[in-house]
Structure 1
């Protein structure tokens, strides 16, 4: 994309503006207001066009259709196709909750519609895929669902770690890979504790870097503004992301404050074989069970554990890499087993 253009929003069409206007408070406010009124989300017209194109050009009576969120309006494709042709098999892959998601920008007056839409997807789909048992438990407690049609399949990794090797760096690099959001996961408390611990450790701070890889929320950006050894890093390809993993000594996972989902990058984290500091608030955080009790994983409770534990872990595992031979995540097998069921 031309550097003078910036994608602001997609509402069936792409709205581009000159880069020198992309940070305009007025423009940003217009976009935010628009998103508050577009139900189920701002990608709805785009997904309606996909549903129409598929139905007119490609649809066959016994098709298997898989819709994946986010965005949640993707599942509208499945609802419409199922309405037109009840014989199709529809698999809804749902990674996040919708109607009670704290990041949802719709006005509260849309809440009844959001719940109705969410429920219709869960009931009308032939199979449902969740990425963790925690999300499954959440939805079973919220709606009366047939548990036999629910399958747990993790997100998987975009990176192939088969021939993974470490790249030398003169710095100790701790990386958080992923996005932060208000109010779900802002990383401020975690980073504050980590910086406090490092400052008390006696380590040479000039030889330490913390990388925040992805789109970070305003609160976190403001918090690190004067910290030259904390860097926001962007990558545009899988090879760039692999290089970041290769240079990283220890991975950081920030805690979800008020959301039951499993961070999408945890599959990559596990497969990398790198040490992980997993911050959490409560023992019901799904990341704890998902990551397991490996020696190179520290589950650190934010409210009542001493920062000194962080230093002990960092000093012990800063040069550690767990070489995972013949690593299999089993995701391909899980999907193949599910696809076989669609033919029964």
Structure 2
């Protein structure tokens, strides 16, 4: 068997890290060998992440070489300062009452560590990888962020060896990421973020974005060549699923729900429909994953709804597809911020593969809304549009009862991981 061209992928998130961030390059590297590329993955030996999914280790292709290198991160210091035993994903920036120590710690996170606390990994990684690149004859490298400090590794390697082809993959924005506003970043540090972002966008041979609007945003910020490759679904993950009608009309969401994704009007609509007997005891709301205290407090306000809610802790990724397949209506909750129009969560494409109708809440002019319309897979509604939410749920419930559907799920095959990897390969060959 002939060897393919080696490509170096630098990523912070790699199995057994769980969550959405790991999926994109776990799947790209799985299929790259089919197209003549042999991936070498470079990742931290001792990363700090709160979601662990050991099942993902089985999805690492045996054709992928994985190099691990130690990293020092200040998260242990953060835990000591705040007295926090466990830092739950997405909860540290909740807008509820924070202690002085926690407020100071968040300020330090935004102002002391630019672009992020993984910045200490940059220099030793560059020194180590320079030799790896030379000894393996590597001509192409890819960095994926966040954390965006990973892109600094790519930039420094490119500047050391200008003949390298470097692709910077942005799973989320940098300076226009909604989460950045919550760090109370000082103006002079903000300029540092902007300067680094500009350098990355201009030095990279190409920038990858996860959607059309995100790509347009990076072009506006000055990137030279930008390509949109969405996330997707793996055919192997869904090929053995059984499409059976569930015993209950099940509304399901898997993932984090925090105060920026708190579907208050959905909860209120369900409560009113239950009280009015328009929904009966054959309805269930499944929320699987991390729920912030704010969301749990909201649920407490609705006694009828509480009776049909089923809460579960985070589950391995290998189990989420069965949850999707068993659902009657899948919930997708965008961040309720101005920047949400460019967000394309990875779970959207796994929803499409499950061929279950989707109720999405967020920006109605977003990329998610466009894809749902294009595929005839569901509807995006505004968080504030309670009447539309209530009407949608009731309509889908009646369709479920009568075993009819208005959704067609057109052209979802183009979002398969194999097809998306083919698009990535075309970009690699063009540079």
TM-score of the alignment, normalized to the shorter chain, above 0.5? yes
Q: TM-score range with shorter-chain normalisation?
A: 0.7 to 0.9
Q: Report the Cα distance in structure 2 between the residues aligned to 1:229 and 1:47, rounded to whole angstroms.
A: 48
Contact map agreement 2:253 2:330 (CA 8 A) in 1: yes
1:51 is aligned, of 99, 104, 126, to: 126
1:91 is aligned, of 146, 167, 192, to: 167
SS at match of 2:117: coil
| Aligned pairs for 1:4-83 within 5 A | 12=73, 15=76, 22=85, 32-36=106-110, 37-59=112-134, 62-83=138-159
As a proportion of its length, which structure holds more helix?
2
CA shift, 1:171, in A, is 2.8
Contact map agreement 2:155 2:203 (CA 8 A) in 1: yes
* Cα separation, partners in 2 of 1:215 and 1:52, compared to 1, 3 Å: farther
2:262 is aligned, of 163, 170, 186, to: 186
Q: Report the Cα distance in structure 1 between the residues aligned to 2:234 and 2:192, rounded to whole angstroms.
A: 34
CA shift, 1:52, in A, is 3.3
Q: Structure 1-normalised TM-score?
A: 0.81
CA shift, 1:153, in A, is 0.5
Name the counterpart of 2:420: 331
Q: Report the Cα distance in structure 2 between the residues aligned to 1:246 and 1:113, rounded to whole angstroms.
A: 46
Please tell me whether residue 314 in structure 1 is matched to residue 388 in structure 2: no
CA shift, 1:286, in A, is 1.4
CA shift, 1:225, in A, is 3.8
Contact map agreement 1:8 1:15 (CA 8 A) in 2: no
1:289 is aligned, of 345, 370, 391, to: 370
Contact map agreement 2:353 2:412 (CA 8 A) in 1: no
SS at match of 1:310: helix
Contact map agreement 1:39 1:106 (CA 8 A) in 2: no
Q: Report the Cα distance in structure 1 between the residues aligned to 2:244 and 2:127, rounded to whole angstroms.
A: 48
Q: Report the Cα distance in structure 1 between the residues aligned to 2:173 and 2:356, rounded to whole angstroms.
A: 29
Name the counterpart of 1:209: 284
Ranges in structure 2 where 5+ consecutive residues have no aligned partner: 1-15, 17-47, 52-70, 88-97
CA shift, 1:40, in A, is 0.8
Deviation track 1:182-236 (CA, whole Å, cap 9, x = no partner) reads 54x33334443444445445222x4322222333344323212462433443344
Please tell me whether residue 268 in structure 1 is matched to residue 383 in structure 2: no
Q: Report the Cα distance in structure 2 between the residues aligned to 1:111 and 1:190, rounded to whole angstroms.
A: 37
Q: Structure 2-normalised TM-score?
A: 0.66
Ranges in structure 1 where 5+ consecutive residues have no aligned partner: none
More displaced 10-residue stretch of structure 1: 162-171 or 313-322: 313-322
2:215 is aligned, of 136, 139, 149, to: 136
State how many pairs are aligned. Answer: 331
SS at match of 1:108: coil
Q: Report the Cα distance in structure 1 between the residues aligned to 2:168 and 2:398, rounded to whole angstroms.
A: 44
Q: Report the Cα distance in structure 1 between the residues aligned to 2:292 and 2:49, rounded to whole angstroms.
A: 18
